[in-house]
Structure 1
């Protein structure tokens, strides 16, 4: 754990030294909130549209910091030979993954705090005043982050090169945002078959879990089932943690394909 923490500190220093990446990562969700909050105003069944977008963008921010960033970064490190060199050092291999997950946890947490602060200051979004919703936020955040981190590690093996990694990883993430309740609100506007397809993946359930936190009971009627179904949210996210781990074990490579 000590080596994993040390590796996480190294990963964070590398991340924060890239100013363009830092600005893009933290500013994009806020800019999207401003954009959608300006274009779409009013409320839906008594729930402010800005409240709906806040919940969805928090979920998208978590997946962006984990799935997208890890998928692209690990593919680039593999092609540059960094993973091969790390595999040959005395550092335990699990320390590398521990460092990645811990660094993503910090980045995603900072991103969520900044987004919520912007939502409160710019649109007067009301945050929960009780402990219960924040406990829900914590377990949805933790399960969702773990699941999408593992997905990012697994998908990093698909791109044939670092140049192709951005397209391979970004395309499915972009599609999932549109069909999982991030940009299209209320979510019930989507066709039923599209909702069923999105339900296979964790982002849809992360959005639903975060809506339960920030919308409260008033927003439950906007869900396809008329309820937040938090037990099902936990079950699907936990299943993706297990499934993501299996995918990583089956697909992760320390060397690029051209090296065999």
Structure 2
């Protein structure tokens, strides 16, 4: 009698790994939860630009001659630019701390695609910056007579300046996170240049009142162009007379922010380290 062979067990299909984007979205949700759990950091992040706006907007509330605009409205646009660039400071310090406590080293040893970590950081930064901008706009409208634009083209300009600014700033934050020798020194190393940039980029002091040398230095960095782009949205044609070129130069704004986006990516690829210097 012919012996009937037993059927072979079906070979189990290997588990399919989730896509990098899906892992990045999950990482973004985790980063957001961790951010909002740190009550002190949340309070400082959102209250600091509000306090600055209230102080500067209340003290310097005079009308700017020939424009129909107040100095406080100029501060609203400038602080929106500053809020858009907070990713530079937050990511630079946060990633340095992750490197110091071994978080990056542990993540590098997991199956998680490296890009997912940065996607999570960038999306979290987009959310936090958007919330900051929304709060500043609400205060500007309620207390400083800021008029929101009605034209769709103005909001389109706001969108691309915001997205390019946040992503470029995030990449620069990732790149500079490798500069501090330790997580403890990260705040001092990264906060100082960010504060200096705010003073020379039109956030607190109009560019027309700065020495030419400082204005030229500011033109090499993205914050000056981000503030200029936001002034074009919220101050309109009347505010263009306050610019050094008597124009918002939106084409140049897009060119500079795009260049910093590409340059930031190159810096990240060439300088980022998963391990601390003490780890070799």
Deviation of the 1:46 alpha carbon: 2.0
Listed as ranges, the gaps of 5+ residues in structure 2 are: 1-20
Q: Which of the residues 77, 80, 103 maps onto 1:55?
A: 77
2:50 to 23, 30, 39: 30
Instruction: Show the counterpart of 1:212.
Output: 232
Q: Where does residue 183 of structure 1 map in the other structure?
A: 204
Q: C-alpha deviations, 1:203-244, integer Å up to 9, x for none?
A: 000000000001000010100001000000000000000000
TM-score (norm 1): 0.98
Normalising to structure 2: TM-score of the pair?
A: 0.91
**Which structure 2 residues correspond to residues 110-121 of structure 1 after superposition, within 5 A?**
110-121=131-142
Aligned to 2:175: 154
Structure-1 separation of matches of 2:124 and 2:268: 19
Q: C-alpha distance in 2, partners of 1:62/1:23?
A: 17
Q: Answer whether contact 2:73 2:145 (CA < 8 A) is retained.
A: no
Name the count of aligned residue pairs. 258
Deviations 1:4-31 (A, max 9, x none): 0000000000000011111111111111
Structure 1 Cα separation of the partners of residues 271 and 189 of structure 2: 15
SS in 2 for 1:126: coil
Contact 2:31-2:120 within 8 A present in 1 as well? yes
How far off its partner does 1:43 sit?
Answer: 1.5
Instruction: Give 3-state SS (helix, strand or coil) of 1:59's partner.
Output: helix
Consecutive aligned runs of 4 or more in structure 1 exceeding 6 Å deviation? none
**Structure 1 position 139 matched with structure 2 position 152:** no
* Deviation larger for 45-54 or 74-83: 45-54
Q: Determine whether 1:169 maps to 2:162.
A: no
Structure in which a larger fraction of residues adopt helix: 1
Larger Rg: 2
Structure 1 unaligned blocks of 5 or more: none
Q: Which residue of 1 aligns with 2:100?
A: 79
Q: Matches of 1:34 and 1:103 in 2, distance apart?
A: 26
CA–CA distance in structure 2, aligned partners of residues 102 and 175 of structure 1:
26
